[in-house]
Structure 1
Amino acid sequence: MSEAEDFLKVARAAREAATVLAPLPRAPKDAALRAIADALVAGVDEIIEANAADVTKARESGTSEAMIDRLRLDAGRVEKIAEAVRQVADLPDPVGEVVRGSTLPNGLELRQVRVPLGVIGIIYEGRPNVTVDAAVLCLKSGNAVLLRGSSSAYASNTVLVRIMQEALATTEVPAGAVQLVPGLTRESVGHLLRARGLVDVLIPRGGASLINSVVEQATVPVIETGVGNCHVYVDADADIDMALTILINAKAQRPSVCNAAETLLVHADIAEAFVPRALAALKDVGVTVHGDERIRAYGADVVPATEEDFFAEYVSLDIAAAVVGSLDEAVSHIRRYGSAHTDAIVTRSQAAARRFTATVDSAAVAVNASTRFTDGGEFGFGAEIGISTQKLHARGPMGLPELTSTKWIYTGDGHVRV
């Protein structure tokens, strides 16, 4: 059987499963998720063994430690994945929720209700936890899912999907609702991108090149999730100690994730008091600063920043830094170089906070808080499917409601239009 035929087989199975899954009430879906969580814990040794093979191959191919950290699973991480599955099971089911409704003047009862999207294709890089997160969010919201992870995690993903399918086989949710796209070639991705009629929507999750490639080549509708060139802007009226705490957390708490800060902007009026302390604090946690001329004036260890540095999503212990003359200049910088993911202001001025939040055009804007909070779990959504940076349908962390569409239902009593 060819790769194309293999893909059609799993895509059709997912489509059939979606038809069965869509009308299921909450209880059987929650039971299926809890069965998956239990199966993951029971299969931890097998998962770790497969993951170790992926990690070994990644090291041999020269993959960075930041990327290996995203790839690696251990018993603790598997337990956290299982716990996240249980948390999703506990969340409200969005399917059937009435978004709005009314009785029209002619007596028709009108309702707009949430319904599943159908079959969702997820294309992602590196992180095998996404395999489970994506699957359970899709299942809870009544969707079947086609998973296409990177070749670097293929052994891990294969075992995870098999464990989930075996768990589903003991429940009312069809095992075919979770499928791994077969094959490791670029063409296997192409089959998914062109599966219009079998796949209802694609969600790419990864770096800029992956997302751009999916958007440019897909014939299936795409929900863009964005790269994370997140900014921390320290305003003229900032509390310096607070700004330092937020900066270090945003950059160094976990530098390999998309909501980590990649750029520091400092108002010129506070630069002399703040920048030397910021450079020392960043150096203490191992961060290399790529600064403009005004930042370099405060530290001999600062690397000269290039234009590319201000566009960069480092996902490493590096940060770009610049001094700006005003809040509006900071916003202009963010609009030029940012990725519309998450941007933060540190200030004691309510007027500055209001202007920043009104003019920064990003999916999430933080005031006196770390960029690291832009996350489905932190927002109380459960595990997220991704951070959408587009402006249609979903924006920001995508939880369960964002994995639904709506259907209009109207009920009459023999009504006809005249």
Structure 2
Amino acid sequence: MADTPAARPVEPVAPIDPAVVAHVAQVATAARTASRGLALLTRARKDELLHAVADALVAATPDIVAGNAEDLARGRERGLAAGLLDRLLLDEQRIAAIAAAVRDVAALPDPVGEVVRGSTLANGLQIRQVRVPMGVVGMIYEARPNVTVDAAALALKSGNAVLLRGGSAAASSNRVLVAAIRTALRGQGLDEHAVASLDDGGRDAARALMTARGLVDLVIPRGGADLIATVVRESTVPVIETGTGVNHVYVDEAADLDQATAIVLNSKAQRPSVCNAAETLLVHERVAEAFLPKVLAALGGAGVTVHAGPEVLEFADAAGAAVLPAQDGDFTREWYSLDLGVRVVPDLDAALTHIRTHGTQHTEVVVTRDRGVARRFQAEVDAAVVVVNASSRFTDGGEFGFGAEIGISTQKLHARGPMALPELTTTKWLVDGDGQVRT
């Protein structure tokens, strides 16, 4: 991932508490044993399990809300940012939506056993490459209790066990969520160790998980730049890197300006605390005079604070929006809040250069009626998702029809973009013969 916001300087790595290492190894060993049973389940059994998980979550709603209230109170005491508190919040409506997402995963095709490719060789050998579960997947994430359920649902559907390290900010919520999921596992006669939390072990548990090579097959970090950089740097277990979202909307000179206003407003303000929200608006100079007063007024009405380049400031008074002069670093920030950087650029080339310099290869949007501009933008922008004439908020596993997602990968190996069931599988080759020997 190129040109990401700078993480804090690397500090010397302290030894991991041996007791925590032993505990994580014990939990991972139990998960590996459980994963062998999961790998043999039929789709019907897995789907039955996921419906039981959804039912258990709904039944546990009062306990989940109570646990979440503890996390929210603790977060406010610690001065957690408004965007992170929003990510942390679980109310009855959100819990119902999480349970519905679990049922959506149950309805998806099972990737396990899918034949990726195959052929019959000249000597009669039949070879097939088929999808199989990874085994044990580790998740390290921050202040996102919904990830606890999404990760568990996707892991179980793809035949994997999952170890969850959700961080202290959501510890009470995660404890109740994992308890509900394990209740469903037991109720289905399955090994509850297929889903386990490592939150009680603190940061040392995360570090032990990252270095449990041989017991854990894959680690996926999901959070801010510092967390992701730490996991990539310290892990000896293979990592899929989910990136920060410094995402742009570029409004071209050929844009429909009413459409552009709606797209910018939705990309920024619909839910600003998530990684697919827009963080910077780039406006072609030929439409700046017509577009900026309109979009600044709309953003101001939604409570967005604009951090403006010098070409934008002249439109601030007329728009009546909260506009501040942009400071160093404002165009490389993932705000997690109702803040937006805005710049005027002379042309498409300048927009592409800005995105290459400041973007994080997550989601980039162009608004234009010029098909040539759209094709060039999609061809030249190096990002996991490149969008024409639609909101950045569609970069999401649920919106893509995956039921849920375990993260959005900004790397280029194995998985890129929203990750769901296929990305939690690997492959094996099956070879069927009839006595052939190699000569």
Tell me, yes or no, whether TM beats 0.5: yes
Query: What pairs with 1:7-22 in structure 2 (closer than 5 Å)?
Result: 7-22=24-39
**Could you say which residue in structure 2 is the equivalent of 1:72?**
89
Instruction: Give the match's secondary structure for 1:257.
Output: coil
Deviations 1:381-403 (A, max 9, x none): 01100100000011000011111
**Could you say which residue in structure 1 is the equivalent of 2:74?**
57
Q: For residue 4 of structure 1, report the CA deviation from its aligned partner.
A: 2.5
Q: Take 1:382 and 1:236, find their aligned partners in 2: how far apart are those partners?
A: 36
**Could you say which residue in structure 1 is the equivalent of 2:378?**
357
**Could you say which residue in structure 2 is the equivalent of 1:26?**
43
**Could you say which residue in structure 2 is the equivalent of 1:252?**
269
TM-score of the pair, normalised by structure 1: 0.98
Q: Take 2:276 and 2:87, find their aligned partners in 1: how far apart are those partners?
A: 14
Contact residue 344 and residue 368 of structure 1 kept, 8 A? yes
Query: What pairs with 1:34-49 in structure 2 (closer than 5 Å)?
Result: 34-49=51-66
Query: What pairs with 1:7-406 in structure 2 (closer than 5 Å)?
Result: 7-300=24-317, 301-406=322-427
Instruction: Give the match's secondary structure for 1:2.
Output: helix
Q: Take 2:38 and 2:424, find their aligned partners in 1: how far apart are those partners?
A: 14
Deviations 1:303-338 (A, max 9, x none): 111231110000100000111111121111111101
TM-score of the pair, normalised by structure 2: 0.93
Q: Take 1:248 and 1:271, find their aligned partners in 2: how far apart are those partners?
A: 16
Q: Take 2:31 and 2:273, find their aligned partners in 1: how far apart are those partners?
A: 32
Q: Take 2:290 and 2:148, find their aligned partners in 1: how far apart are those partners?
A: 46
Q: Take 1:234 and 1:36, find their aligned partners in 2: how far apart are those partners?
A: 44
> Taking structure 1 as reference, are residues 402 and 368 closer, same or farther at Cα in structure 2, changes over 3 Å only?
same
Which range is displaced more, 18-27 or 371-380? Answer: 18-27
Which range is displaced more, 405-414 or 257-266? Answer: 405-414
Instruction: Give the match's secondary structure for 1:322.
Output: strand
TM superposition outliers: structure 1 runs of 4+ over 6 Å? none
Q: For residue 57 of structure 1, report the CA deviation from its aligned partner.
A: 0.8
Contact residue 7 and residue 182 of structure 1 kept, 8 A? no
Instruction: Give the match's secondary structure for 2:435.
Output: coil
**Uncovered stretches (5+) of structure 1, i.e. residues with no partner:** none
Deviations 1:187-211 (A, max 9, x none): 1211111110110010000111110
Matched to 1:265, the amino acid is: L
Matched to 2:326, the amino acid is: A
Q: Take 1:174 and 1:184, find their aligned partners in 2: how far apart are those partners?
A: 22
Contact residue 167 and residue 199 of structure 2 kept, 8 A? no
Contact residue 29 and residue 173 of structure 1 kept, 8 A? no
Contact residue 166 and residue 199 of structure 2 kept, 8 A? no
Q: For residue 107 of structure 1, report the CA deviation from its aligned partner.
A: 1.6
Q: How many residues align?
A: 418
Q: For residue 224 of structure 1, report the CA deviation from its aligned partner.
A: 0.4
Q: Cα RMSD over matched residues? A: 1.2
Q: Take 1:402 and 1:321, find their aligned partners in 2: how far apart are those partners?
A: 35
Contact residue 117 and residue 405 of structure 1 kept, 8 A? yes
Q: Take 1:182 and 1:72, find their aligned partners in 2: how far apart are those partners?
A: 18
